[in-house]
Structure 1
Amino acid sequence: MVVGIVFSLVPILTYGQSAPEDSLMEMKRSPYLLLDRGLQYRITKSINSMYNFDFETAERDFQVIAYQYPNHPLPDFLMALSYWWRIEVDITNESYDDIFLAYIDRANEKAEALFDEDPTNKEAAFFLAAGYGFEGRLKAERKSWTGAAWAGKNALKYMELSRGEEEFNPELLLGDALFNYFSVWIPDNYPLLKPVMALFPKGNKDLGLEQLEQVATNAFYTRIEAMYFLFRLYASQEKKPYEALRISSYLHEKFPNNPYFHRSYARHLYTVGRWSEAVEESGEILKRIETGMTGYESNSGRYAAFYMAQYYERIGNRDEAKYYYLKTLSYGEESESQESGYYLHSLVQLGQIALEENQKALAKDYFKKVKKYAKRKHPAHQAARDFIKKNKL
């Protein structure tokens, strides 16, 4: 999943701040629609609705913009962004891929028409960079490396062409930041992708992280997207869990109904050992899944149930721990995530509990499942083999 991020090399239109009230009075007109202050104010509210998973409200507003600006790429791009967040909650779910790509294609076609009319149109280049960046990102997630590389190169080309408009600079910096970080990180961690990355210029990982911080602090359109990447990098690559928690806490507070931000917040609470808060948030996630709240599904349930199980195991409540480990398995199977770490670790823990309860046949079944789904070098696979050998199962 992380590999796909490199192809999101371009600014992504996300809005995390409210425009000042007096901007409505000023209604300063720009030659570019994106920089129109009145429209910025209207779009801010719509995008905030989208981030909070109120897609009905957001998309109704996007349709109004489409009616007002039928030949501009902005409305179609916003609709694509709305479907991207449906994908982001569970990246393995491909049911939204076609409609997402259809909106991206329409946005690209309209941007290309503007660009053909005027090759100096920075806004058209901006949208083409963003559109190809998103396309590349999805194709990388789907392991379509050739298509991802092609889209990534187009994104970089148009990102370069969109430079020179001072008001766009904070937003364009996100593309630079992601490229600088991942163009170094991917070859170091995925040697097989070195030939693909050889197609791109060389980046600077430390500079990329610094640029992401700048975007998260200073940008208007791309501030929230930069925060999204920062907390992921701080949590997984940079080993700065408290920084990840700080950012995910802010995002969950601002967008409390966004399931991705919600489960990330719960995860970072769990990681730093703030158990009572992690349990509270995990319980709320499970409750929202049960009530069918938009975006809350089995993938988020797998996270939340695992944190609950870990907590009850920690305090010595075996029955509750077993209950939530079984829920983790159920959610993992529903989302076809049997190779995930939480699923495998739950199997190992359930096998160990079965041994403690003198249910050797059941324990053996759990450990055999671990060996079935885990790669041989995975710690869970090693643990299962050790338990089988030690207990002569």
Structure 2
Amino acid sequence: MKPYYWKYLLLPAFMIFFQQGLVAQILGDSASISILRKGVHNIYNCEFSQAREIVGKLEPVYPGHPVIPLMKGLILYWENFPLTPSSPALEPFKNEMLTCIRLCEGKRLLPGEAEYLLADIGARGLLLTFYADNGLGRSVIPMAAKTYQDVVKAFDYTGTFADFSFVTGLYNYYRETYPDVHPFYKPFALLFPRGNRKEGLRQLEHAASNSIFLIAEALSFLTWINTGYERNYAAAHRYSKKLLKTYPRNNVYLAMQVKSLLLLHRYDEAEMLLSTARQPESHWFNAEKTVLQAILQEKKYENHEAAEMLYRNALQKTSAFGEYANEYNSFCYFGLSRIASEKGDPGVSREFHKKAANLATYKHLDFGD
């Protein structure tokens, strides 16, 4: 997934809605907050029937509340992960997000404004995530400007809950790190207050350990950060292991853990873990799995013929996912480049490497020696 700067600014606000957005109605009710917490866990653990049952319990108690379409949309997002422009679930998902936005309109400057402000940011932020992941830049720009204005205003409502460490941590970290890695954005970054990279990591770790609702998001970002920016694969493994332990039915998180093991050259563990994937496997996870199996054939077994076949097979499987699959496609082309080099065909090797570099989110993630 491509690291669009807007995405990292806006996604946190969506998740924070579950913490602050319901303060006026749910956080004072221990029974309701327990139900909500369970529902969020069900969604991330891919237990969608149970999650829908919980939404069904909340909906008659809070009719017309934006949390209902927001949770319905989150269910659709994960149940059909990853959403692409051709996904049958895309229109229902967008309708839930637009319903949430509509329910928030006209609620500003009223008691409980923060609740609707954050719900609005949540729906817009999740839509922006879909647009950014799928390379739909023209859809990102007009919505991002309005959403960022809401994000700035939302910081006025910062409270005492650990979940807020997630948004402040992401801002502090990416405000400093992203422009350094992507110099094109440095002039743009000057429009924003300075952050603090170390403080950002500390805040994200605090959120990962103490949040009510944001454990999955905090652990996911800590894994991505340590894989892509910090190049601390041992830390990435630690966070992805905790993520999978917390949500053992989520094959996307299993793939993250397998990838972290491969980067540490712990091939036996990676292969064993990959064999434990939950059934049924989604088409996307099956594509991920094929790429990871190819890396194992190349690196553990040094079976280049089998690896090449799997890399090419994976490229066929990922073709249905468009730009979302760029990262895994880059892994395939890096592997095919190495295999072509071993075959003594430097021209083909260079061509594959060029394709990989053009697709890669982080060019150092090539699973080479």
Is the TM value for this pair above 0.5? yes
- Aligned partners of 2:359, 2:212: CA distance in 1, in Å? 44
Q: CA deviation at 1:258?
A: 0.9
Q: What CA deviation, in whole Å up to 9, does each residue of 1:238-290 have, x standing for no partner?
A: 122111111111221222221210100000111112111111223444xx6xx
- Aligned partners of 2:267, 2:357: CA distance in 1, in Å? 30
Q: CA deviation at 1:331?
A: 3.0
Alpha carbon RMSD of aligned pairs, Å?
3.5
Alignment partner of 1:75 out of 63, 68, 76: 68
| Residue type at the aligned position of 1:327 | N
CA gap 1:61/1:181 in 2 versus in 1, 3 angstroms: same
CA gap 1:67/1:186 in 2 versus in 1, 3 angstroms: same
> Does residue 1:2 correspond to 2:11, yes or no?
no
Q: Say how many residue pairs are matched.
A: 349
| Residue type at the aligned position of 2:311 | Y
Q: What CA deviation, in whole Å up to 9, does each residue of 1:284-304 have, x standing for no partner?
A: 44xx6xx64346534423432
| Residue type at the aligned position of 2:313 | K
Matched with 1:267 is: 259
State whether residues 80 and 103 of structure 1, in contact with CA within 8 Å, keep that contact through their aligned partners in structure 2: yes
Pick which of 229-238 and 138-147 moved more. Answer: 138-147
> Does residue 1:185 correspond to 2:177, yes or no?
yes
Pick which of 136-145 and 56-65 moved more. Answer: 136-145
CA gap 1:94/1:151 in 2 versus in 1, 3 angstroms: farther
| Residue type at the aligned position of 1:370 | F
State whether residues 302 and 342 of structure 1, in contact with CA within 8 Å, keep that contact through their aligned partners in structure 2: no
State whether residues 215 and 222 of structure 1, in contact with CA within 8 Å, keep that contact through their aligned partners in structure 2: yes
Q: TM-score, normalised by structure 2?
A: 0.80
- Aligned partners of 2:105, 2:92: CA distance in 1, in Å? 20
Alignment partner of 2:82 out of 90, 107, 111: 90
State whether residues 259 and 300 of structure 1, in contact with CA within 8 Å, keep that contact through their aligned partners in structure 2: no
- Aligned partners of 1:56, 1:335: CA distance in 2, in Å? 25
CA gap 1:181/1:296 in 2 versus in 1, 3 angstroms: same
State whether residues 303 and 342 of structure 1, in contact with CA within 8 Å, keep that contact through their aligned partners in structure 2: yes
Match runs of 1:280-359 below 5 Å: 280-285=272-277, 292-294=280-282, 296-311=284-299, 314-336=300-322, 337=325, 340-352=329-341, 355=343
Q: CA deviation at 1:150?
A: 0.9
> Does residue 1:156 correspond to 2:151, yes or no?
yes
Residue 169 of structure 2: SS of its match in structure 1?
helix
Match runs of 1:32-43 below 5 Å: 32-43=25-36
Match runs of 1:213-228 below 5 Å: 213-228=205-220
Q: CA deviation at 1:180?
A: 1.6
Q: CA deviation at 1:219?
A: 1.6
CA gap 1:191/1:108 in 2 versus in 1, 3 angstroms: same
CA gap 1:35/1:294 in 2 versus in 1, 3 angstroms: farther
Pick which of 256-265 and 95-104 moved more. Answer: 95-104
State whether residues 13 and 122 of structure 2, in contact with CA within 8 Å, keep that contact through their aligned partners in structure 1: yes
- Aligned partners of 2:297, 2:254: CA distance in 1, in Å? 18
Matched with 2:366 is: none
State whether residues 330 and 357 of structure 2, in contact with CA within 8 Å, keep that contact through their aligned partners in structure 1: no
Identity %: 19
Matched with 1:251 is: 243
CA gap 1:321/1:128 in 2 versus in 1, 3 angstroms: closer
- Aligned partners of 1:258, 1:245: CA distance in 2, in Å? 16
Q: CA deviation at 1:187?
A: 2.2
CA gap 1:320/1:137 in 2 versus in 1, 3 angstroms: closer
Q: CA deviation at 1:8?
A: 2.0
> Does residue 1:137 correspond to 2:129, yes or no?
yes
Q: TM-score, normalised by structure 1?
A: 0.75
CA gap 1:244/1:59 in 2 versus in 1, 3 angstroms: same
CA gap 1:77/1:333 in 2 versus in 1, 3 angstroms: closer
Matched with 1:111 is: 104
Q: Which has the larger radius of gyration?
A: 1
| Residue type at the aligned position of 1:54 | E
Residue 97 of structure 2: SS of its match in structure 1?
helix
Q: CA deviation at 1:325?
A: 3.4
> Does residue 1:370 correspond to 2:352, yes or no?
yes
CA gap 1:42/1:156 in 2 versus in 1, 3 angstroms: same
Unaligned runs of 5+ in 2: 364-369
Matched with 1:125 is: 117
- Aligned partners of 2:181, 2:214: CA distance in 1, in Å? 27
